[in-house]
Each structure stands twice: as structure tokens, then as C-alpha cells.
Chain A
């Protein structure tokens, strides 16, 4: 499990993550929601050892991330950030291959190659494998990044806003994929989502943050209530039941 114990992070005088204690990485998909500036991305950075907490500690599978070698952690935790601006001209195959780096350290074994092939197959990227990333559409590129994370073969997968800049079709496609990764491959997926309807439809558990604190943490259905969403977003959100599913209406 990914455990945060009394974790605090400040930037300047501002507390971005405020004494958060939270356990992530249970079975299935966990969605992290909350308004802009709630501290979701910082929380991911803390878990992904990109920034150090000012107080508290983070453990992954019982290993303290400040004392465990980074290379070791990379075998159990993969983080995909929301800004994946890759300037380098790399092919899809190159990128997926780099996902094996924690295991191969650059020398690919037969097993590494098998994982690469599986990841490319799983994301249906075979036709594009020798294309450069800058020759792909947004949806294809996002799939390539997910294939890289998949090739890393970790128990925990953290995705920061994987739906960013995608159209409806590709958003659904990615969420379906995330679901399959959890159900078929047993990945423990934690993902930041902005669209709460996507979160409600595809995740098992929703953690809501606001002002650096966790304000709600419950199964998806319990979060989808007007009073809870109002507390999280500070905006009136109507929730209707359509075909037995709660749907949030927040279009004004």
C-alpha cells in the first residue's frame, strides 16, 4: 500500500498539502478529485519522490521512500505526470522500452522484450510502434505513455489527469483501459480526474481534496451527493439518477 503519514508540503508561505494521512493503492481504481490548487498534483509529486515533504513520511509497500533506493521503488510504483512534453524524437517502441529501465538498466533481456511486446499489444499500438511521438495524435500519444507505464510492470500506477486534452471518445477509451488494467492485470490505479462523472463511472473509491486536505474519502456512490460535492468544489452541483447511475450536472 501507499501510505502517507501526516505529510505536509509548503511552497513559500503557502501550505499546499496540509498534514495529510491517507492510504492509497487498494484494489481497483481510486480517483482523486478536487478543485484546482487542492494539492492533488503535489500529493502525486510527494509519492513519486519528485518533491520532499516538509513533515511526515511516505511509504510504498512498507518502504520509506526517502531511504529506499529510487531504482528499487521504480519497480513497484509508476507515475505518469500530466505534462508529458517530450522534446526528444522517440518512437513509441523507444518509449515503451524505457519503461523497462528499472528492470533492465538498459540491457534488455528476453523477459524485458516480452513485457514491451505485451504492453504494445495491450494498448493496441503495434501499427504505430515505429512512429515518432510527435507524429501521433493526442490519444495515441497518451496510449504510448500508458504503455510505457505498463511495461514498467509495477503494482501501483499513478496517473495524473490522464484525460487532459482528449476528446470524448479518447477519454472513454483511456478510462476503459484504466479499468481493464485494474480488473485484468491487478494494477492498483490511482488517478487524478477533473470530470467527476468519469470518476463516478469508472472508479471504486473517490478521495476528494480541498485546500491541501482530504475532505472526503468513500466509495464512488457516496461521494456523488450534492452536499458532498458542494463541500469539495464550493459550487452547487445537482446530482440526478440516470439508469441507476448518479450523474452530476454542473453546467450552470
Chain B
């Protein structure tokens, strides 16, 4: 009898324990990240001078918007078990080319349309190389980014920095304006995030992206036209990167192509992965990007206010990302039996 009770107790304890564990691993990463953001935000507001002021919040919003916009594009690709390292090259070259064309007198609409067209073409080419030729996404986009940057610098642009043409208030407004007191970049980020969210959660194409990311072979066998889908994802990512380029151009009235060799793409991956979009595909949402962007934006802003050196900032970011992926690996351990070959 006593034994039975003991067993029962132990059983109950086990259930309790597994419940506790269950709720922790069930807690979505973006919720965790949001909570962390709020804690850090509160701490910064309390201890960092000049953090909780309206101008600073506005600056923070502006500075993370570009990152967030890129993150939305990256998320769509990463959920589909891909990776787009060519975003920064597209951002720099296509936007700078657009500025140059507008400066040459092609007109605002034509200039933007041609830049956008080039960006979409690059994205579509990425998708083609990945889905039809079969080159891994990592190498396709690494090489195409290098190629785009190289051709842009060599044949399309005149120098490292391309300045925005005079008398184009619309262009500048993209980066510097305010709409109902909200910075325009933030508005654009919100709109892009909304569009991304609607596509991913409300359209069949969006659901197919999840299906493809979760099990590419199963998606193909079910009849999803996976090649078109992949091409579409990368085209979307490139178009979004072009938009981010215009916002960048608007905020500083120029594009510096050296951004290609900066760690911007790392920051984009940082916010995407931090928010819980798994690089092995099929997991995450736009909410993940918002969470990641909020956390990194807050951290960066606080470090800038605290006058932390750039290299130290990089170390902090890296350690945060390392912590996030280690935690992710602990919560969702890799199953060696079902792991796919070539997961990097």
C-alpha cells in the first residue's frame, strides 16, 4: 500500500516535472525574446541617461527599421529553408543604381521601377540557381552577392558613394519624414511586416513556404510547384532589400556601397534567428522578426548611449546570438536520425 502511494507520488512528481519542462519548452522563443526586451528596455530606461526620451525612441525606431525590413525578407526565405546573403549587395547596388538613374533624369518612378526590376531579377536568378540548378542557397547567394556587388562597382556606378539627386523630397521623406508623428521608416517597416505576415499566414503560397521548409520532398510530392515557390521567395527578399536600400538612401541622402563589407547581413541573421526562425526551416513567423528587432534595437541603442565601442558591441551581439542558438539547440535538440544531410 505504502509502495503504491510512493509510486503514485513519484508518478505525480514526474508528471509535474514534465509539465514544468513542457511549458518551458513550449514557451515560444519570440515570447521569451519579447519578455527579455521589456526587461532590458525597463533597465535601460532606469539606468541609462537619455534612453527614455521621445527623440531617442524615435532615433531607435529609425535605426532598426532598415534592419527590420531586411529581416522580413530574410524570414520568408529562411522559413522556406533557404538563406539570402545577397540582400546587402542588392540593397547597396540596386538602390544606388536607382539614385544614379534618377540623377541622370530618368524620373523618380522610372528610376525606382528599374532598380526594383533589377532587384527582382537578381532574386529570381537566386531562386533559379537554387531550385533548378540545385546549388545550395548559402553558396548561391554568397556568390551572387559578390557578383552583384562586383558588377555594380565595376560597370554600373561611378564611385564608392552615390548621392541622392537634388530636389527629390519624396526620396528623402522615405528616410527622414514623419507620418502622423511616426517616423516613415518605421511605417514602412510596419507595412512590410504586415504584408509579410499576411502572405505567410493567409495565402496558400505562404503556407506552402512553411510546408516546403518543413519537408521539401513532401511538399514537392503533394504537388506544390516548389521551384516557382523558391523563385518567388528570393524575388520577394530582393525586392524588400531594395526597399530597405531606398530607406537607407533617404535617411542619409546617399548610398555607401562599402556597406557590403560591413556586418549588416550578420545583424539581419541575428534578429531573424534570435526571434526563433530556425535555419533548418519551417519554424518562426513575422512576430519573431519583430521580437528580434526590438531586442537588438534596444541593445544597440543602449550601447551607443553608453558609448560602448563598436567592436565590443559586435562581441555582445555575437555572444547574444550564440546564447540564443545554444538555447534553441537545448530546447529543440537535433535528432540525428531525421537530421538532413547538408544542414549547415
Q: Do A and B bind each other?
A: no
Interface, chain A (partner B; CB < 8 A): none
Interface, chain B (partner A; CB < 8 A): none
